[in-house]
Homo-oligomer: A and B are copies of this chain.
Amino acid sequence: MNKVKEFNDYRSRMNERLLESNDKVIKRIYNLDTNAFMDGHLNKKTKELIGLTASLVLRCDDCVKYHLGKCFELKFNTEEIIEAMSVSTLIGGTIVIPHLRKAVEYWDELNKHV
């Protein structure tokens, strides 16, 4: 099984597990998360770029993967993604580089399975 599918499957399975718990705060955070990234004063593409770069400076590999997946669906090209991540690396420092390596590996994986 490829890495993209593996990531998505685990993510879906555990999200379901969490939502089954019927915790109202978790449910509403998930719901809010869906709404926050829809078109508004800023469009979806801009918001996903915010999601990607915020995840990268906060060094959350799984969050980066999730937003890379969304950016891929929204047809960002590789140059744009690399540039966005280079700005994040400058802001977040060389401490971000190991996460940048994993991010570009996942981005290439996404493009391989088109």
Contacts and interface: CB of A to CB of B under 8 A. Distances in A.
Interface in A13-42: 14-15, 17-18, 21, 23-26, 28-29, 32-33, 35-37, 40-42
Identical copies of this chain, number: 6
Interface residues of A, number: 62
A104 B42 contact: no
B87 A25 contact: yes
Nearest to A33: B94
Interface of A: 10-11, 14-15, 17-18, 21, 23-26, 28-29, 32-33, 35-37, 40-42, 46-47, 49-51, 53-55, 57-63, 77-80, 82-84, 86-98, 100-102, 104-105, 108
